[in-house]
Structures are given as structure tokens and as C-alpha cells.
């Protein structure tokens, strides 16, 4: 037999037993004995092991071993390396010493058993168990050193996981020895759990005492395994198991059809998406084609969540999985990530940006034809100008081109399969069944869905009990009366007479619109009054929602921050304070003591708060291991509610551990929460360190939150989709969904309307599902053609109304004092998003203030804020970009003049009809270096 024939046989042997090698090979010690691999190859494999785990590294190792041309004696060297690294079972398999099939099957069950029981086994005394495992040769000296090192540096639980990963690599027979070690180390509960002899109450799972006499306690593994539910542990997953209803809704997608899956929150939609992804890629691989799956989300925290909890654990041993968002730290382009990975989880805006680059002919773009499956999470957002719909509009345009090209018998451009997932499609503004049906058909058309799949959850459905708690209006509200008196004084000063009620959402909308108008007209007196009126309006809402003292603290804090903004950090010059500002500061000081005194009088507190207290206390005293969420509208309310509960000993007495989670957007007067902060709180909620979460709408949609016993909507009801998602959080047994009224919230009426819309949606979906397929397809095609025509008309109108102007035709003036700040010629863009002023004269116009807390709020390094030298208004941040300080401007803080026409409505730079050049780093770095040399010489 020739050497090439032997090599081919050995290659086939390795490939045939690749799955066994994954289970039995420990990569790092084997590398020490593989002398035919180059040092850089070994280091790459070690890096992969540290980054993605041993399983992923084994595949890379096998790839390196199989790489041609083979050095002489390569196969025997590989087998010897396995043997020297004490991977004896793997070495035996390579030598053809295969265990009996029944023994191997039993060993597979043992490995699966360990996999399932990881959450319990990590509680063992790892150091003690590890020592005995080494003494009885279940693990190697290298294994022991690594496990004990992990225990010392990261704790016993992480070390236990590592021990379990390593022990399953032993030859068959290790399981009974490990069970005996648990018994010898007095881990009696774990011993019984693993199948050791036990009492009668669990005897049906294990062998009886009589059967155990005279032999090692060996569990009836097959029957035990059948009774234990599949869980997500920390070990790698080979199998994805779906429930019957999940498999039923997935069938058309497994056949390659575009569908929408509409299942309640908590029913496992993401798991279905992972399963469909796996089968899709397997099918493509079997066909000899390249599969590429992109999973789109609409919120940054969901990227990491879906990657960590679902896609990576289940797919990493067979496919490359990566995640990308605007906050990712990747230094390579999205194009390269798509090219080098099989599954990409990303925000929809990332994909849209790179599809746009392709349209513009840029090299760093992505084509739809490069993707074989797109999964759209929370797909009910695929409408109007939302980013999901912009992505799908590109799809529909190509589909229409393909229709024309096909008639001409030319080659078409392949399009990806589309899978939409949502808990509720909604009905929009529809009040009649036909309108609801049309609304849902439009979303189906936007997603090019052939059908909507809904499942019968049967016993898995856990609809919570619903209760609406009514409250009484305050008989007296002296605190609110003082605030209203102040607001009326401000309105008289500004000569304004609004028709909406003080303390309402409509009043806030009026204030925002009037502020924009005043800024545009450079009427700074009115503009400043609007800022203060919005503040007092927020205080009224907080007073009606939480405590009066919380409203007072909010007002006092904003007053102090405003005063601080009017001070210079170096006292070298004086910031101007207008007469109106002095009057407004004086107005608050004159009423401060009265407000503070009234805020301390608990007899005037609102009834909503007492109802909330009674509701929460009841839940925690009547439910074991209670866990719940309170949804509230405002960030101020979430923070204040959390503080109130922490300060109230009645909550601590029943075991309440509270925290809050709010959004990351910068639209509010309250500091936003970073994704890192959100993640930390949610992790505590999952672990039980927090059992009551106070949340704004950020926690309603998509975020992975554990099953709750109760969900409370505290004066906060929006639409029917949000109601379904909030209800879906209460999915523990015997859970409750509670709505508590708050003055002026109108929650009872809104909740009734939402219930009607949910029923309307169900009926509309049922009618669509019952449609004749030909009629359905006809209507979908009509909606798609209509959408394409409307998009074309919209683009034409945009070109007419939004013709690009030259940067020199754009001027920015301070929103507060109307001082001209710069022209568009001074603006350049860093990394396609950060607009910085590059003029050397600009530094004369602002003062810089340090702010160490800023770094967490931005995805770039900051060095404090910059503010107007004349009036103190914050303009933006000082961005540190590759050792250069760059003033980064927030357009919302300026009035924009375009061709002598003023605009005060811009909140995002991308809305401006001007194209600014990219930041010229070389020019600015050279100029900075030259300035430094001149300073040094002088």
C-alpha cells in the first residue's frame, strides 16, 4: 500500500471519529507533543481554546493535523501525542481499539447525564473532589493543576464546570467511579441525584437497595435521562430539542419557505430560530453550498443576549457564530465578519448600513445574495420607515427585478429565506376586523411571508390572572398646587396660555413644540421658560406617581445642576445669566422651603403608591420565591420607586430585593443607563440577587428575563403589543398581571382598548390563515407592488425636498444664547458617525468641564464635556480619537441655519441635508505634532 493510500485511510479515520475526538481530546496538552505543527499554528489553536472553548479548538486542531502536504509519520505522531497527553480513550479510537457499541452508547448517556446535571453539580466541593479524581486517575496532573488554578482565581463553581468538562474524556467506566467519589466525599444529595442508592421517594429513578448490594451504585441512566428536562448548562450542546408546538410552527421554514412565527413571550421563539438555523446550515453543507445566516435584532442588548444564551452554546461546535453591534469592540469590518462566519447576530442598522455601502459601490459592503437566511426578531416592527422595513424594501426591490429578469430568461440574483418572529403583530390603529386584516397583510407583504404560523401551546400556556386596581383622587394636593402656581407665573411671564392640563403628557408635547419654535425665533426668554415648565411638569407627574419628596428632590437637583452649568471651571471669565433665568432661579428659591415642607407631609401622598405597596407586599407574602416586575413610564419614576422600596423596611421584612433598569437613549433629562449597567442588573435578577425589578419600557420587549410570578403596570399602558409582551413576563405558575391606576394616566380605558385590539388581531390572523392560497398570494403581491411604488415616490419627493447643500451653506448657533458657533465647513466625521469641529478658532468659544461618568455613556473615549463660554449650555463632549482631542457636537444643542432658513427641530446629524467630509487624521496629527514642536522650541 502506497504512502498516499495510507494517508487517505488515516484521514478518513479521523473524519469518521471527529465527534468522538471532540469529546475525548484535551487540546492544550496534546499540542505540547505535536512537533510537526508550526509554533504559530499551535498558538492560534491555543488562542481559539481560550476564546471559544476546547470543543471549538479540537476542530481547529483536527484541521491543522489533516492539512496537506502531510509530513512523514504524521498520523503516528498524532496518536502518540494523544497517548502522551493522557487522552488514552482518543488514542485507542485512533488505533482501532473501539469499545463495544452498547458500552459506547451507555457512555454517551453518562455524558448527557453530566451535561443535564451541571447546574446542581457545580455546587460540589471542587477542590476535594478534584484531588480524589486525580488520585483515582480520572483526570491528569495537568487537569488537576488547571482546575485548582481556576478554583483559586475564579471560584469553585467555575472550577467545577471545568472538572466536569475534563472528566467526561475518560474511557468508559468513569461514571460509576465519579458517583462513588461523590459518596466518599459526603456529597450525598449529588450522589443520589447521579443515581446512587437512595430512599424510597426516588426509588423509581434508581436501582433499589437490594440491587445495589455487593456492587457499585449505578443509576438507571436511560430512564433517569428521560425524566429530566433539557436545560441550558455550561457545557457544549449537540442537540436542540423542540416541543411539539415549536416543531409544528417551524415546519414550513425547515422546507425553505418565508414565514412569520407568532407565539407568546416565553414560548421559545429564539430556540426555534436556532433550530431552523442549524437545519438550514446543515442542508446547505450537505448540498455542497455555503450557508450564511443573519439574525437581526432592534436593540443592542439583544445582540449579546441571543449570542450568549442561545446561538453560541448550541452552534459553536459545528459553525462559526459571531455578534456585532454599534457597541462592539471589533476592529475588523462587518464585511469581513460576514465573510468569515456562518451565523451573525447583529442590530438591523448594521446590516442596513452595509447594504447601503454596496448600493453606493463601496468595497466594504454586503450583498443580500451573500446571505441565505435572515431571521428578524420582533418582526412586527417591519413597517413604515423602521430599519427592518428598509432592509426588506431592498429585498422586495430585488425580488421585483428577478420577476422581470426571469421573464427575459436571464439569470436571477438569489435572495435569502426570511423568517419573522414576534409575540404579537398588532393591528395598528384599526378598529374594525377588515382594517386589522389589511394591517397584518401589509406586514406579511413587507416580510414576503407565505403564511403566519401560530401554535397551540396546550399545557405550556400560562396565561396570568389579570386584575385592575382602581385608586382614589387626592382630596387635597397642596404640593401640586404650589407647582402649578409656579407654572402659571412662568406662563404669564412668557405670555403663554396653553389649553392642555398641567401635569399631562399633552402639556409636555406642547412645551417641546413651543421650545423649538422659540429657539428658531431666537426668543431666548420663552425658550428658557419652556425648559423650566417641562421640568415642573415632570415633577407633577412624579408627584402623582411616586412621592412628593421624590418630585422635590428632582426639582432641587435640576436647579443645582442648572446653577452649576452657569459657573466656569477656572473662574477666568463670567458666564452670562439672563434676566429671565435670574427670575426663574429666584422663583424656585422663593418656593423651595414650602415645597420641601409639604413634600414631607405623608397625609397628602397619592393613593396609587399605597395600592402599589399593598400589592407588592401581598405578592411576596403569599408566593414562595416571588419574583416580579413593575413597569412605569418615566425614568425618574423607576429610580424613585426603587429608592422608595429600599428605604421602606416593610419591603425588606418580606424579602424584597429591588433594583431598576431604564433605557440607554439620551432623550430624557435623566442620565441613561449603559448596556453594561442594564446587563448587570438583569444578571442579578436572573440569579435572584434582585427579585423585584422596576423598569421602563426597555424591559418589555425581547430582553431575556426570568419567569415572573407577577407583573405590575403602574399607571403605564401603551398599546396592545406592549400589553401582550408585559403579560408574557408573568409566565410562572399561578402568576398575576396587575394594572394600577395613576392620576391622569387613563390606564383603565387604554387597557380595555388593548384587550379589544388583541382579540381583533387573533380574529384577523385566523381569517388570513383560512384564506385561499391563491387569493392570499395575490393580495401580498399587490401590497408589495404598492409598497415599491410608494417608496419610489417617497424617494423622488425626498430628492426634491432634501437636495444636498454645501457644508458652507450650513451654520450652527447656540440654542441658548443664539451665538454663531461655526459653519459646516468646520465639521468633519469620525468613523461615519461622530461630528467634530476641526477649526482651531473654535476652542475660543467653549469651556471644557471634566466628567468621569461620561465614559460609560459613549462608545468612545471622552475627556469631559464642552459648553458655551457665554451661556454655559452643553454643546457636546471632548472626544479622544487616537490621541487627538476632538470637540464632538450634539446637533440637538444648536439651531441649524441652512441657506438663511433656521431649523430648531434637528436631533440627529443624519437628518441634515448636507454631506460632511471624513475626518483627516493625518492632517490633524501632523498639525498637532508641528504645534508641539513649536511650543518645545519656544
Other residues' Cβ atoms within 10 Å of the Cβ of residue 924: 17
Residue numbers of the chain with a pLDDT score lower than 70:
1, 98-99, 196-239, 326-332, 360-363, 458-462, 568-573, 664-671, 699-706, 719-720, 722, 725-733, 743-745, 798-802, 851-860, 929-938
Residue-wise DSSP of 152-178: HHH-HHHHHHHHHHHHTTSPTTHHHHH
Distance of CA 420 to the CA centre of its chain: 17
Give the C-alpha separation, 585 to 567, whole Å.
14
Task: Give me the count of residues in the chain.
Answer: 938
Question: What pLDDT does residue 103 have?
Answer: 76
Question: What pLDDT does residue 726 have?
Answer: 67
Does the pTM surpass 0.85? The reply is no
Give the C-alpha separation, 280 to 373, whole Å.
8
Give the C-alpha separation, 891 to 834, whole Å.
11
Give the C-alpha separation, 464 to 710, whole Å.
8
Question: What pLDDT does residue 136 have?
Answer: 86
| The C-alpha cell that represents 451 in the structure block | 403564511
Residue closest to 258 by CA, chosen among 239, 280, 282, 234: 280
Distance of CA 381 to the CA centre of its chain: 16
Give the C-alpha separation, 761 to 668, whole Å.
33
Question: What pLDDT does residue 214 have?
Answer: 36
Contact 275, 419 (CB under 8 A): no
Question: What pLDDT does residue 666 have?
Answer: 54
Kindly provide the b/e burial profile for residues 232-265, where b requires at least 16 CB atoms within 10 angstroms of the residue's own CB: ebbbbbbebebeebbeebbebbeeeebbbbbbbb
| The C-alpha cell that represents 614 in the structure block | 399593598
C-alpha dist (Å) from residue 604 to 465, 853, 929? 32, 36, 64
Residues 281, 282, 287, 289: is their CA dihedral positive or negative? positive
- Residues forming a β-bridge with 322: 344
Other residues' Cβ atoms within 10 Å of the Cβ of residue 793: 10
Contact 864, 854 (CB under 8 A): yes
| The C-alpha cell that represents 404 in the structure block | 422581470
Question: What pLDDT does residue 748 have?
Answer: 74
Question: What pLDDT does residue 239 have?
Answer: 64
Supply φ then ψ for residue 425, to 5 degrees. Answer: -85, -20
Residues 410, 413, 419, 422: is their CA dihedral positive or negative? negative
Look up cell 457597541; give the residue: 327
Amino acid at each position: 500500500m502506497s504512502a498516499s493510500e495510507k494517508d487517505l485511510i488515516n484521514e478518513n479515520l479521523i473524519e469518521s471519529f471527529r465527534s468522538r475526538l471532540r469529546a475525548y481530546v484535551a487540546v492544550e496538552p496534546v499540542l505540547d507533543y505535536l512537533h510537526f505543527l508550526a509554533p504559530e499554528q499551535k498558538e492560534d489553536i491555543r488562542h481559539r481554546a481560550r476564546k471559544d472553548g476546547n470543543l471549538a479548538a479540537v476542530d481547529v486542531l483536527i484541521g491543522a493535523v489533516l492539512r496537506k502536504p502531510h509530513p512523514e509519520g504524521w498520523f503516528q505522531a498524532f496518536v502518540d501525542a494523544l497517548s502522551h497527553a493522557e487522552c488514552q480513550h482518543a488514542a485507542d479510537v485512533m488505533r482501532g481499539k473501539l469499545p463495544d457499541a452498547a458500552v459506547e452508547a451507555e457512555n454517551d448517556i453518562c455524558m448527557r447525564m453530566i451535561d443535564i446535571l451541571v447546574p446542581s453539580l457545580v455546587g460540589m466541593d471542587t477542590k476535594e473532589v478534584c484531588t480524589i479524581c486525580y488520585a483515582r486517575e480520572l483526570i491528569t496532573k495537568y487537569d488537576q493543576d488547571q482546575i485548582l488554578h481556576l478554583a483559586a482565581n475564579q471560584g469553585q463553581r467555575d472550577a467545577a464546570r471545568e472538572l466536569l468538562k475534563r472528566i467526561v474524556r475518560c474511557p468508559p467506566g468513569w461514571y460509576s467511579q465519579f458517583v462513588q467519589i461523590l459518596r466518599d466525599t459526603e456529597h450525598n444529595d449529588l450522589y443520589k441525584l447521579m443515581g446512587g442508592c437512595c430512599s424510597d421517594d426516588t426509588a423509581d429513578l434508581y436501582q433499589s437497595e437490594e440491587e445495589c448490594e455487593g456492587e457499585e451504585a449505578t443509576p438507571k441512566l436511560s430512564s433517569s435521562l428521560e425524566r429530566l428536562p433539557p436545560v441550558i448548562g455550561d457545557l457544549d450542546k449537540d442537540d436542540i430539542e423542540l416541543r411539539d408546538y415549536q416543531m409544528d410552527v417551524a415546519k414550513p421554514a425547515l422546507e425553505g419557505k418565508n414565514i412569520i412565527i407568532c407565539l407568546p413571550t416565553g414560548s421559545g421563539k429564539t430556540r426555534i430560530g436556532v433550530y431552523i438555523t442549524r437545519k438550514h446550515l446543515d442542508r446547505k453543507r450537505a448540498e455542497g453550498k455555503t450557508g450564511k445566516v443573519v439574525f437581526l435584532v432592534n436593540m443592542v442588548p439583544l445582540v449579546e443576549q441571543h449570542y450568549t444564551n442561545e446561538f453560541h452554546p448550541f452552534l459553536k461546535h459545528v459553525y462559526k457564530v459571531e455578534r456585532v453591534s454599534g457597541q462592539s469592540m471589533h476592529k475588523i469590518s462587518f464585511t469581513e465578519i460576514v465573510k468569515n462566519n456562518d451565523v451573525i447576530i447583529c442590530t438591523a442598522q448594521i446590516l442596513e448600513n452595509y447594504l447601503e455601502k454596496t448600493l453606493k459601490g463601496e468595497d466594504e459592503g454586503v450583498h443580500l445574495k451573500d446571505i441565505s437566511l435572515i431571521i428578524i426578531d420582533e418582526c412586527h416592527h417591519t413597517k413604515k420607515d423602521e430599519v427592518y422595513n428598509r432592509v426588506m424594501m431592498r429585498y422586495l426591490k430585488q425580488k421585483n427585478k428577478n420577476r422581470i429578469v426571469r421573464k427575459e430568461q436571464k439569470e436571477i440574483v438569489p435572495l435569502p429565506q426570511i423568517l419573522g418572529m414576534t409575540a404579537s403583530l398588532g393591528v395598528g390603529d384599526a378598529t374594525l376586523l377588515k382594517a386589522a386584516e389589511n394591517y397584518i397583510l401589509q406586514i406579511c407583504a413587507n416580510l414576503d411571508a407565505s403564511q403566519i404560523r401560530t401554535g397551540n401551546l396546550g399545557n405550556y400556556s400560562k396565561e396570568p390572572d389579570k386584575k385592575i386596581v382602581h385608586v382614589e383622587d387626592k382630596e387635597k394636593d397642596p404640593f401640586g398646587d404650589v407647582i402649578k402656581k409656579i407654572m402659571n407665573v412662568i406662563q404669564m411671564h412668557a405670555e403663554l396660555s396653553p389649553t392642555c392640563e398641567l401635569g399631562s403628557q399633552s402639556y409636555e408635547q406642547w412645551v417641546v413644540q413651543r421650545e423649538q419654535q422659540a429657539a428658531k425665533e431666537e426668543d431666548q426668554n420663552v425658550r428658557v421658560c419652556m425648559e423650566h415648565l417641562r421640568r415642573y411638569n415632570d415633577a407633577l407627574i412624579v408627584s402623582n406617581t411616586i412621592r412628593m419628596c421624590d418630585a422635590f428632590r428632582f426639582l432641587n437637583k435640576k436647579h443645582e445642576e442648572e446653577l452649576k452649568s452657569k459657573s466656569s471651571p477656572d473662574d477666568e471669565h463670567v458666564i452670562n445669566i439672563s434676566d429671565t433665568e435670574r427670575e426663574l432661579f429666584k422663583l424656585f428659591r422663593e418656593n423651595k422651603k414650602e415645597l420641601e415642607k409639604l413634600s414631607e407631609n405623608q397625609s397628602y401622598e397619592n393613593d396609587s403608591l399605597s395600592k402599589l405597596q399593598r400589592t407588592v407586599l401581598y405578592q411576596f407574602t403569599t408566593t414562595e420565591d416571588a419574583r416580579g416586575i413593575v413597569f412605569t413610564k418615566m425614568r425618574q419614576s423607576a429610580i424613585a420607586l426603587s429608592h422608595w422600596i429600599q428605604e421602606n423596611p416593610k419591603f425588606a421584612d418580606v424579602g424584597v430585593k429591588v433594583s431598576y433598569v431604564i433605557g440607554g437613549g439620551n432623550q430624557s433629562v435623566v442620565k441613561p443607563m449603559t448596556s453594561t449597567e442594564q446587563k448587570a442588573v438583569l444578571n442579578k435578577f436572573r440569579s435572584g440577587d434582585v427579585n423585584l425589578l422596576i423598569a421602563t419600557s426597555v424591559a418589555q420587549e425581547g430582553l431575556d428575563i426570568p419567569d415572573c410570578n407577577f407583573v405590575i403596570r403602574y399607571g403605564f399602558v401603551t398599546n396592545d403589543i406592549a400589553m401582550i409582551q408585559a403579560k408574557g413576563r408573568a409566565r410562572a405558575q399561578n402568576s398575576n398581571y396587575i394594572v394600577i391606576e395613576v392620576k391622569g394616566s387613563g390606564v383603565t380605558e387604554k387597557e380595555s382598548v388593548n384587550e379589544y385590539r388583541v382579540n381583533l388581531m387573533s380574529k384577523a390572523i385566523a381569517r388570513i390563515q383560512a384564506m385561499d392560497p391563491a387569493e392570499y398570494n395575490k393580495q401580498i403581491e399587490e401590497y408589495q407592488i404598492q409598497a415599491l411604488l410608494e417608496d419610489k415616490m417617497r424617494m423622488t419627493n425626498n430628492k426634491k425636498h432634501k437636495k444636498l447643500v454645501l457644508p458652507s451653506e450650513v451654520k450652527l448657533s447656540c440654542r441658548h444664547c443664539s451665538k454663531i458657533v461655526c459653519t459646516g465647513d468646520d465639521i468633519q466625521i469620525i468613523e461615519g458617525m461622530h461630528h467634530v469641529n476641526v477649526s482651531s478658532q473654535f476652542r475660543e468659544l467653549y469651556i471644557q468641564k471634566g466628567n468621569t461618568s461620561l465614559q460609560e455613556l459613549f462608545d468612545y473615549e471622552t475627556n469631559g464635556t464642552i459648553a458655551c463660554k457665554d451661556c454655559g449650555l452643553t454643546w457636546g463632549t471632548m472626544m479622544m480619537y487616537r490621541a487627538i482631542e476632538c470637540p464632538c457636537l450634539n446637533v440637538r444643542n444648536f439651531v441649524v441655519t441652512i441657506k438663511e432658513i433656521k431649523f430648531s427641530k434637528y436631533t440627529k446629524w443624519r437628518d441634515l441635508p448636507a454631506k460632511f467630509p471624513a475626518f483627516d487624521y493625518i492632517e490633524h496629527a501632523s498639525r498637532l505634532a508641528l504645534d508641539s514642536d513649536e511650543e518645545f522650541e519656544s
